[in-house]
Structure 1
Amino acid sequence: MPAALRPIALMFLATVLTVPAAWGKTPADRSEKAIVAYVKTQQEAAAALLEKAVNINSGTMNFAGVRAVGDLFRPHFDALGFQTRWVDGAAFGRAGHLVADHKGKGPHVLLIAHLDTVFEPDHPFQKFERVDSNIVRGPGTSDMKGGIVVALTALNALKKAGALDKLNITVIMHGDEEDSGAPLAAARETIIEAAKAADIAIGLENAADDPSTAVTARRSSGRWQIKVTAKSAHSSQIFTDEVGAGAIYELSRILNSFYNELRGEELLTFNPGLIAGSTQVEYVPEPLQAKTSGKDNIIAPIAIASGDLRAITPDQIKRTQEKMRAIVAAHLPQTNAEITFDEGYPPMAPTEGNKRLLGLYDKVSQDLGFGPVTAVNPRRAGAADVSFAADHVEMAIDGLGLLGGDAHTPDEFADMRTFQIQAQRLGVLLYRLGK
């Protein structure tokens, strides 16, 4: 096993060793028993479907590849009786989304996934590989084509148990989760409208890659940009009343003030990802890059910085942005600066409803013999599409997909031992929600 995989894989092994060899307990409820029995037969079929999906490149900007992954999964939902449709992404500059609807009784459950990966066709990391009997590597194994495979298996188990027709389920599989289209309001209109009609949202991300945790809160992910302008002159004149401090000192003051005045608040982070300042600056926001040229004996007239902002509630975002604007406004002599913010991913704030859904999931896990499930620290869970739904439903949870590690790197892997844990838990949870 590659060294990069060993620590997390061993953690999984320790978890699985607490479970009986036959993949957990047999439930007393007849339908739950049927759900579990079906999932136990699907280990190899799930790995084979995952291999097909992973071997189709679906980097976000490979529109044909994203559509091809949707075309792979779509017949599986059709066979279950779902009404499927493709939402074209031309309006927001992306491939689009696959949506599957199953009308039934009971609460309306929204399952959330994505078809794309961060690995475009020119990246060397392209193919599915079986490392050993448990570990598989490849782009999207755990983030998150594996989550769709888990969901399909759970839904098939419900159908075999005669319980699917009782459920009202919408599945949304975005084609641009890893690099959202613009405007963001258009790119996420489908999920927001679906969430408004739903009662419960369940994300199929790999989240913290820990089978003993699930996500009940996620931080936001937004971007900020600071642009500073100043008088340019010979460097010998810096700090004079007529010339002032120059753009680079002003930008340095701002970033240092952010660090000193804003850091330390719980679950709030702000990271500068790019800084550029000189006589001439060519700045490109997407993909993020900058080119500078100048001389040490010229006072820089322009400086730019961009970064991200993550917070746990809308109020925390608002307060932080107000403080950042105030800091930016306190200019050094003969300089000017402005800060702008993009709309970004909203937070998934912790709520009593989310806590209640975690309690139901924890009960399922313990009843199946897989042990307790607790809420992961939001610092360990990045932004995800479930956040767009969370404000519109009574309860939301994420992290119920296939688990692994090293996402967004050429070492990304999934631990297929977690397939049984996740698919059984999801199937029984959906069954109980339908009851």
Structure 2
Amino acid sequence: MGRSSLGKFPMKPNIPDTTEQTMLERVDAAAMLDRTLAWSGIQSGTGNLDGLARQAQALADAFSALPGDIRLEEPEPITAIGTDGSEMPLTRGKHLVVSVRPNSNRRLLLTGHMDTVFPADTDFRTVREVEPGVLNGPGLADMKGGISVILEALKVFETSPAAGDIGYDVMINSDEETGSAASAPLIERLARGKMAALTYEPATLPDGTLAGARGGSGNYSLIVTGRSAHAGRNPQDGRNAIVAAADLAMRLKALTYDEMSVNPAKIEGGSANNVVPDHAVLRFNIRPKTLKAAQHFDLSLSLMLEEVSAEHDVQIHLHGGISRPPKPIDEKAEKLFSAVQDCCEGLGLHYGRKDTGGVCDGNNIAACGVPVVDTMGVRGGAIHSPDEYMIVESLAERAKLSALLFHRLALGALDAREIAR
């Protein structure tokens, strides 16, 4: 059935109609919980390739319920800097992609990640109830619960007569927790031409508040090469790489201001106390709030490296860069947030929005010019810690929210919406 036979979008879009009510009644909360618990039992830290392979296959089996093509994409080659300053390859897991109605003129991108921050040897393995309706367990909120929301919402949306009017890609990557370097090109490729995107990170607050604007993030390594010498006999012949790295760290920290924070995180290098160190690696992170701040930092860093190299007579090699561009809220994003708010109101769910300094794949999607709401996953908290928890009732809540939103986007919610808030 085409869009024209369904009529125009309702004058009061926040009130679910009969078709929507019928669709939402199909959400299976028990099945969602069973899936999430099973997936939580698979240890899938970013570096745990065996666990990621098991998780990817479990997801492929589950998403086969959708009427589309499923494939596992190879990760992009990436490198890291070792403590000795050498560049070495990093191996990441495969990424899951599901494509439904790829020839549709109106398509969505839905993203999540299968990796967690917990390594293969973690002691945080079991799920326990910390209070009625609240479960503590690895990856429940961040974000295996969110992946379960994606699947359930799409399954019930596919029962709607409007489903044929829109297509979508689902991308579940394996390296989000370490910056998505091995999936960034895939995200960019899939985002191209999409009308909107949704990412299923957990809600910003336990009440369901969504993330609004986000700052950016970049990780860098500076490899400093000096000259060794005896610390007692001829120190003047040495060029101290540790001192140069420390100078860099102080200068970098001085670049912090309202729109930019810089965190020098680690200096590695040196050997015996009686040897002038000829090698150091300085690792640091930046958090620009705006694109202008990020551009200003690039220029400042370039000048800084020239100055320190000349003053200390050392060589400095730069590795890394901004992996998550800042994500402002533009007019298109405001329209998408407004559509989400209408759905929340129709379902009697709390709607709130809060800007945050945290980053996710939503940053990368927004940088492609696609409007995105990137905290459509479950309600919970204490993520990235052994206290991570998920509020169980939010599984069904958020599945209904997404299914309702898919339905309304299929009917043209963004096509005619005015920004009213």
Normalising to structure 2: TM-score of the pair? 0.81
1:40-55 → structure 2 map (5 Å cutoff): 42-55=28-41
Matched, 1:222 2:201: no
CA distance in 2, matches of 1:300, 1:76: 54
Return the letter of the residue paired with 1:371.
Answer: H
Cα separation, partners in 2 of 1:366 and 1:272, compared to 1, 3 Å: same
Cα separation, partners in 2 of 1:105 and 1:329, compared to 1, 3 Å: closer
CA distance in 2, matches of 1:326, 1:348: 23
Matched, 1:371 2:371: no
Q: Which shows bigger deviation, 96-105 or 354-363?
A: 96-105
Deviations 1:374-425 (A, max 9, x none): 2x2231x22x223332233441110001121222222222111322332221
Match of 1:34 among 4, 7, 22: 22
1:32-431 → structure 2 map (5 Å cutoff): 32-39=20-27, 42-89=28-75, 93-103=91-101, 107-179=106-178, 184=181, 187-206=183-202, 208-230=204-226, 232-233=228-229, 235=231, 246-260=240-254, 262-266=255-259, 268-278=260-270, 293-295=271-273, 298-331=275-308, 333-350=311-328, 351-374=330-353, 376-379=354-357, 381-382=358-359, 384-431=360-407
Cα separation, partners in 2 of 1:246 and 1:70, compared to 1, 3 Å: closer
CA distance in 1, matches of 2:57, 2:228: 57
Q: Which shows bigger deviation, 246-255 or 303-312?
A: 246-255
Secondary structure, in 3 states, of the residue corresponding to 1:131? strand
Return the letter of the residue paired with 2:183.
Answer: A
1:34 deviates by: 2.1
The question of whether the paired residues in 2 share the 8 Å contact of 1:244 and 1:334 is answered with no
1:37 deviates by: 2.5
5+ long unaligned stretches in structure 2: 1-13, 79-90, 412-421
1:235 deviates by: 5.0
5+ long unaligned stretches in structure 1: 1-25, 279-292
Deviations 1:92-132 (A, max 9, x none): 63221111111175621100011122223211112333333
Return the letter of the residue paired with 1:259.
Answer: K
The question of whether the paired residues in 1 share the 8 Å contact of 2:291 and 2:326 is answered with no
What is residue 19 of structure 1 aligned with on the other side? none
What is residue 4 of structure 1 aligned with on the other side? none
The question of whether the paired residues in 1 share the 8 Å contact of 2:219 and 2:323 is answered with no
Return the letter of the residue paired with 1:364.
Answer: C
Return the letter of the residue paired with 2:388.
Answer: E
Cα separation, partners in 2 of 1:300 and 1:66, compared to 1, 3 Å: closer
CA distance in 2, matches of 1:394, 1:59: 29
Deviations 1:261-319 (A, max 9, x none): x11132x22212211343xxxxxxxxxxxxxx221x55444333111122244443232
CA distance in 1, matches of 2:45, 2:252: 35
Q: Which shows bigger deviation, 171-180 or 242-251?
A: 242-251
Return the letter of the residue paired with 2:258.
Answer: E
CA distance in 1, matches of 2:178, 2:248: 29
1:323 deviates by: 0.6
The question of whether the paired residues in 2 share the 8 Å contact of 1:108 and 1:167 is answered with yes
Superposed CA RMSD: 2.8
Return the letter of the residue paired with 2:244.
Answer: E
Deviations 1:244-271 (A, max 9, x none): 88433333332222223x11132x2221
